Amino acid sequence: MNASADPTPAHADLPPHTPVLIGVGEVSETLDSPDYRARSEAQLAADALLAAVADTGVAPETVLAAVDAAAMTRSFEAMGFGSPLGTPTSYPWAVLRRVGASPSYVVHDALGGQTPQSLVNELCQEVADGRHALAVVFGADVTSTTRHFTRGAGAALERPDFAEDVTGPEVDRGRGTHLVNTRHQVLHGMTNAPVQYALLEHARRHRLGLDRRTYAKQMAALLAPLSEVAAEREHAAAPTVRTAAEVEAVTADNRVVADPYRRLMVARDQVNQGAACVIASLATARALGVPEERWVFLHGHASLSEQTMLARPDLSRSPATVAAVEHALDVAGASIEDLGPMDLYSCFPIAITTVTDAFDLDTDDPRRLTLTGGLPFFGGAGSNYSLHAVAEVVRRVRHEPGAIGLVGANGGQLSKYAVGVYSARPRPWVPDDSAALQAGLDAVPGVPWTEVADGPAVVESFSVEPQRDGSRTAALVCRDLAGRRFLATAADDDALLDLLADEDVEPIGRRVHVRHVDHLNRAALTRATLDRLHPVHPPRLDGEHTRVRVAVDGPVVELALLRPLLDRRAHTECDEVVSAWLADPALRVLLLHADGPDFCQGLDPAEIGWGGTLVTPPHGVAGLTGRAVDRPVVAAVSGSVRDAGVELLMASHVVVADETATFEMTATRSGLVAEHGGLRRLREVVGHRLADDLVLTGRRLDAHEALAAGLVSRVVPAGDQLATARQVAEQVCLGGGTAVRATLRMAGPASYPASCPGRTPREVDEVAFSEDLMG
């Protein structure tokens, strides 16, 4: 009997737009299986989607013809770095073309382990709102195959070609990398998920007052039962039962990945897996003839985000995670005790214990904490793991009609959490209040933090990461004497590394000494060691410079840029010169110019990318734009003045341009942003209408247009800019030094940096890792 022929009274009473899951599917392949075909990500996802469509019990062509919305999770391969095996121009459409579906609405979601469940929540709401009738969610990863043909046994074999040119209307939500890795983390070598989570894990251990050996046993006892579930799952990547002793013991096959984690305690990211689900309105399910025994309802749902890691009041907790579970249960009208099957995201132990701690769940709860076997044993790369949990919970509640199941999906560093509560028992759709809850979470004051630290500090959390060459590096979260949190690294102080690695010692709460050197906060156990490893040299005007030339004429310091593009070395040398200028009270004026036809064309594109993106000294572009300078800066410009060059002008007090000078803000064309005060200062100088025109279009101003707009102080004949600027500097020096400085301080915000060192805006991190970044 099917629903369209004879609906039950309970189903008949539901609104026709009530969303219902009608099909789920999973696929996988292992390198050693006899039917291994080295399927691409698109093919594996397509096969999973076809399996989900077949699971509806209706002819596949009938279901696929009705698909009007589709969403794909983002895999490692789709992170924007490309694959050595090639990639499709559109991941979702590569899948949809294979199965013969042509939905009008297609989403490629951002990175995040929460996305399978959050997409189910989102599309169910849109079905309930009548915007879609039948939607599909799918995803896959082939990281195991990619590694096999590039670094594994298959490296000598002919590689498959996964590239294909396929396009269609698509909402691409971007990589979302900035939600997982900030530039601050990248610079400090903390892009590794085990290191990131280890910092949170040690914070929890310390809060509980546990020594490291005891805590390792507890983590092993938590995870070992998950392996028993994985051993029963067809698509598990590592279906081997592990004892707690095996998970805990450090061996050659279970090495320490990042203290306190052994290999068997972290997510297994080398997998070939795909999963999918099909969501329909009740009316569509009936019209298609989907049997009622296939129907599963989303009783409760929530999707919430946590504060950025360094801003969290407590590194060991995630209020957003707990609130998401609580709210989803509230929406479902259920409690934690009512649950049967459940899957708590398990990339690392703390992702599980964040929930078990809050709801007083025993780690050996007979209901089990996983439906798949968890990420360390079932496996899960990219973002798609929880779609396998959704598939399993749907199957389970179908066979236990009164059962209520839960899927908790985590993304980032306990950064996002999405929850679904499932049951085959019919229930009307109930919207959640995630937006209101999120506003409350966002209103909680965060911990102040900084990117630049110098001086004594206290260790708040840490992790030591053994390297394969036998060396060690350490990641630390510390607090300075002002209570600001920051990241630091330690790689060359053996005493500190020994302390951090000693299981009989508690490093948290210990004092260390930190110095900001070459864009990093470097930690040592003692000030003496720090001085030896990273000595402080007073800033000098006569240093060994390769990017600038410095000349002193009485009270005037001339700083000439030798290259039109600013790289890290140029920033550092300029920063030292500006610091030396400000340190000498006899030096009154800084005269900035170029040793070539073009003043400054911006940042060096060769240094734009992971770890080097937009990195400047703590004091901003050329060591100038991030300072509150109360001494006159005179700039002499000619030729091209672009992006960072314009920002330098806006940090200057008098700008002399010759008639060849042109001015442009072209950052957005290459996927960048003027982050060093340029956006705000430009509005203050030329007005917001012209400023927005310049920034958004890259419009070029000539010297006279720049003068009319107030961007420069005066225009002189070609080649006369430096001589005129020197005359200006001489005239400035005729005024009293104290009066000049007081005048600049009293002049207001335009004379001070619009953004000073400290927090990096999330928008800047988003730009730093976006797929439209060029260079």
Q: Mean pLDDT in each 10-residue stretch from start to end of the chain (775 residues)?
A: 40 91 97 93 98 98 98 85 85 98 97 96 98 98 93 85 94 75 76 93 98 98 97 96 97 96 95 97 98 97 95 97 98 97 97 97 90 96 94 97 96 96 97 98 95 95 92 95 95 94 96 92 96 92 93 96 91 93 94 95 74 64 86 95 90 95 83 63 86 87 95 96 96 81 65 42 52 47
Half-sphere exposure of 659 (CA within 13 A, CB side): 4
Contact 354, 241 (CB under 8 A): no
Residue 758 confidence (pLDDT): 38
Distance CA 319, CA 323 (A): 6
64 plus 156 within the same structural domain: yes
Q: What is the CATH number of the domain that holds 669?
A: 3.90.226.10
406 plus 487 within the same structural domain: no
**Which of 442, 473, 501 is the last residue in one of the domains?**
442
Residue 670 confidence (pLDDT): 66
Q: What is the CATH number of the domain that holds 461?
A: 2.40.50.840
Nearest to 629 by CA among 654, 656, 605: 654
Residue 491 amino acid letter: A
Residue 191: inside a domain, yes or no?
A: no
Residue 178 confidence (pLDDT): 59
Distance CA 56, CA 480 (A): 58
459 plus 587 within the same structural domain: no
Both tokens of residue 676? Answer: 């060093």
Residue 600: inside a domain, yes or no?
A: yes
Residue 185: inside a domain, yes or no?
A: no
Number of domains in the chain: 3
Nearest to 536 by CA among 549, 525, 550, 522: 522
Residue 213: inside a domain, yes or no?
A: no
**Which of 533, 566, 589 is the last residue in one of the domains?**
533
512 plus 561 within the same structural domain: no
pTM here is 0.89
311 plus 460 within the same structural domain: no
Contact 662, 700 (CB under 8 A): yes
Residue 114 confidence (pLDDT): 97
Handedness of CA 79, 184, 604, 633 (dihedral sign): positive
Residue 748 confidence (pLDDT): 57
430 plus 488 within the same structural domain: no
351 plus 431 within the same structural domain: yes
Residue 39: inside a domain, yes or no?
A: yes
Provide CB contacts within 8 A for 623, sequence distance 6+.
571, 572, 574, 575, 576, 577, 578, 579, 617
Residue 774 confidence (pLDDT): 40
631 plus 572 within the same structural domain: yes
Residue ranges making up the domain that contains 490: 455-533
671 plus 524 within the same structural domain: no
**Which of 442, 467, 484 is the last residue in one of the domains?**
442
520 plus 599 within the same structural domain: no
Residue 45: inside a domain, yes or no?
A: yes
Q: What is the CATH number of the domain that holds 55?
A: 3.40.47.10
Measured CA distances, 591 to 181, 558, 620, 634, 656 (Å): 39, 5, 18, 5, 11
490 plus 556 within the same structural domain: no
Distance CA 600, CA 363 (A): 60
Residue 216: inside a domain, yes or no?
A: no
Residue 215: inside a domain, yes or no?
A: no
426 plus 473 within the same structural domain: no
